[in-house]
Amino acid sequence: MDINGSFKLKLALINMVQASQFYGKAHEDDSAHLQHFLEICNTFTIKGIPIHNILLHLFPFSLLRKAKQWFYTNKEKNTTWALCSTNFLVKFFPIGKTNTLCGKISSFQQQHDETVLEAWECFQDYILECLHHGIENWLLMQTFYHGLSNNTRETMDTAAGGAFLSLIIAQATAHVEKMASNQG
């Protein structure tokens, strides 16, 4: 890193990212590409550089053709990693697929033979399939709770000391994860 805060990416790192590039074609899975890119980037750090800066600088190396053209055409809009990743998903994730996956999230129902662990994992999988769902965390937790069976909701309420939905998001999430881990 130099005095201006800029840094250089090592060639080996660029090569790792370029091993699985996204072109922007209709058959490609942009969400999977983003997850793979993040998996690679979670394997290293650059001393003194925030990870979101590294992600933003390294991401264009994971793109080719239409996708790379989109990145550079919209570079002034993608000033942070959060904006860049969200805009990438909005651009390359088909609206029909987004609507279908958001529908799966909002209509979640625990199956009669599912444990809390299985229901929670299923719900989390729905969310991971559509990272740009735009649904607030409080609404996600409420949707999960209302999608549980009556017996499971009663158990959740009892374990929460009365009303599960009166918990703040962090407490509710910890509560669900504790219940799920006790069944796992």
pLDDT score for 152 = 93
Given a cut of 90, is residue 12 above it in pLDDT?
no
Given a cut of 70, is residue 35 above it in pLDDT?
yes
| Range of weakest confidence among 22-36, 115-129, 152-166 | 22-36
pLDDT in tens, 41-52: 888 888 888 888
Given a cut of 50, is residue 4 above it in pLDDT?
no
User: How large is the average pLDDT for residues 113-139?
Assistant: 89
Name the residue among 96, 88, 131, 110 with its Cα closest to residue 176: 110
d(CA 79, CA 74): 9
DSSP for 128-179?
HHTTT----HHHHHHHHHHHS-HHHHHHHHHHTTS-GGGS-HHHHHHHHHHH
pLDDT score for 87 = 87
The domain ranges of the chain are: 11-92, 95-183
pLDDT score for 69 = 95
Residue 63, classed as helix, strand or coil, is strand
Name the residue among 58, 60, 81 with its Cα closest to residue 11: 58
Residue 91 tokens read as 């651009």
Given a cut of 50, is residue 1 above it in pLDDT?
no
Q: In which band, very low, low, confident or very high, does the pLDDT at 86 lie, cut at 50, 70 and 90?
A: confident
